Amino acid sequence: MSERVYERFLLFMNAVDNDLLEEALAVPKHRRAVAWRSLAAAAACLCVVVGVLFWQSPSVPEAGVTAADLAGYGYELPLPADARNVIYDLLPSSSETPIAQAEFDRGGHAVTLRAWKTDEPQDIFYSEAWTDQVEWSAGGAALTLRSNDKTAQVSWYSGQIQWSVRSDMTPADLLDTVDSIFSTLGGQLNNAPEGAGDIHYNAFHLDGLAVGETTFTLDGVGCVYRIALTYDTSSDFADISGVEEEFGHRAEAEVGWCPARLAWNDGGAGKVVWFDVVPGQLYSLSVDAGASRESLLDLAGQLFLPAQDEL
């Protein structure tokens, strides 16, 4: 059985009402005639489940599902501009609204994007044995990244739609794909300034914190911008920059209304870390060249988008 057919089987199994199955399998002790009817009903249910191995929606045209077919259910899947070999599909769900799917190639990797209109967050992929999980917020959405040594998956729920993307990409590469999807949706995961290039987005754990990271170049300087939520509101807030080296200058200042600590070498590397106490968010900006007190504070001010403004 192919993985595609097996997944359809699992989806259809989840779509069958458990109460109906239990009722069909329940055999009264003293009514043999009714028992035979129950067994027949159970057999019918089994036939339906087995039949799903070869199931195709009757509304699906012989030529295959198109973007227009998805639009008929109110779906418009936001594919990256460089997506290739796109195949659309409609998958069964536990409601009247099917799950919309697009399979495509990006950067030499197979990617599957799914969307399901539902009143609450749902798992819309078959389960995996994940070895790592990161949960964080970005672009106005709460995201979950799950991964193991073969597969990565990013999921988020927004506007009563459950979104999920899975691929054999590395987690960082998959997050770049998700960033592109967010851009198509009119949002943004990365926090790069105007004129930046070589932009990449990532998320990972650092000292027990879930960190969202944007790397980019600006005027030939490599920059790393990080954000992390914390429950520690002490004045000695954590440094999430990950930069540990000797600096010739250190100072305290403010980014917006937030207390900040700076460290830099004139014209060389530098960093600034700051803390917004009300939402409990840590920030850091590090550069690999051209650092000064003024340049660090100026770029930090450009990047800093208070969490309150995203509400």
Q: Please tell me if the domain spanning 67-184 has the same topology as the one spanning 197-310.
A: yes
Mean pLDDT of 27-42: 50
Residue of 287 and 13 predicted with greater confidence: 287
Of these ranges, 12-26, 138-152, 249-263, the one predicted with the greatest mean pLDDT is 249-263
Structure tokens at 169: 């990409």
Q: Is-contact 125 116, C-beta < 8 A?
A: no
Percentage, residues of the chain above pLDDT 70: 78
Residue of 141 and 296 predicted with greater confidence: 296
Residue with tokens 């003293």: 30
Give the pLDDT confidence of 38-57 residue by residue, as tens digits: 545 555 554 544 444 344 44
For the cut 80, the answer to whether the pLDDT of residue 20 exceeds it is no
Q: At the top level of CATH, which class does the domain 197-310 belong to?
A: alpha beta
What is the average pLDDT value for the chain, to the nearest integer? 84
Give the pLDDT confidence of 231-290 residue by residue, as tens digits: 887 888 999 999 998 999 999 999 999 999 999 999 999 999 999 988 899 999 999 999
Residues 6+ away with beta carbon under 8 Å from 48: 16
CATH topology for 67-184 is Protein Transport Mog1p; Chain A (3.40.1000)
Going from N- to C-terminal start, the domains of the chain cover 3-54, 67-184, 197-310
For the cut 90, the answer to whether the pLDDT of residue 59 exceeds it is no
| pLDDT score at 169 | 95
| pLDDT score at 186 | 78
| pLDDT score at 165 | 97
Give the pLDDT confidence of 172-227 residue by residue, as tens digits: 999 999 999 988 887 888 889 999 999 999 999 999 999 999 999 999 999 999 99
* DSSP H or E stretch at residue 141: strand 141-147
The pTM assigned to this predicted structure is 0.75
Q: Indicate the length of the chain as a whole number.
A: 311
Going by pLDDT thresholds of 50, 70 and 90, the confidence category of residue 168 is very high
Interatomic CA distance for residues 129 and 123, integer angstroms? 14
